[in-house]
């Protein structure tokens, strides 16, 4: 199995409606997003896919979230904008934009800080 990973980022504010503690108040993060794509055998040029293509796809998904109040953006206007829900949302959005021959999206991790990460991955991986 071959795997590539890119790291992207965005800055946004949010609050957690169903959480009791300091994160229930408006606050922000400089999120880091790790996106991992895998294939069983390499494609043309000996690559999983072009890093530039994966960066472009990811940047397009992150752009509407950058410098935004996440609680006002669907689906986070109805679900909690937690790191876990962000990872799942970003996974679905990025997976839907990958080219058919570009490999399988394996996981998306969202870091709220250097020491806190949530990951959504394909079942069984």
- For the annotated catalytic residues, the residue numbers are 23, 67, 112
Distance CA 27, CA 11 (A): 11
Distance CA 24, CA 66 (A): 20
Distance CA 33, CA 10 (A): 8
Distance CA 73, CA 26 (A): 15
Distance from CA of residue 53 to its chain's centroid?
15
């Amino acid at each position: 199995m071959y795997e590539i990973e890119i790291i992207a980022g965005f800055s946004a504010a949010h609050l957690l409606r169903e959480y009791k503690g300091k994160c229930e108040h408006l606050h922000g993060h400089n999120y880091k997003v790790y996106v991992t794509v895998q294939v069983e055998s390499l494609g043309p040029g000996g690559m999983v896919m072009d890093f530039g293509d994966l960066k472009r796809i990811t940047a397009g998904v992150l752009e509407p979230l950058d410098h935004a109040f996440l609680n006002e953006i669907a689906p986070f206007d109805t679900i909690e904008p937690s790191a876990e829900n962000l990872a799942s949302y970003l996974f679905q959005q990025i997976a839907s934009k990958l080219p058919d021959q570009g490999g399988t999206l394996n996981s998306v991790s969202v870091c709220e800080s250097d020491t806190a990460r949530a990951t959504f991955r394909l079942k069984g991986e």
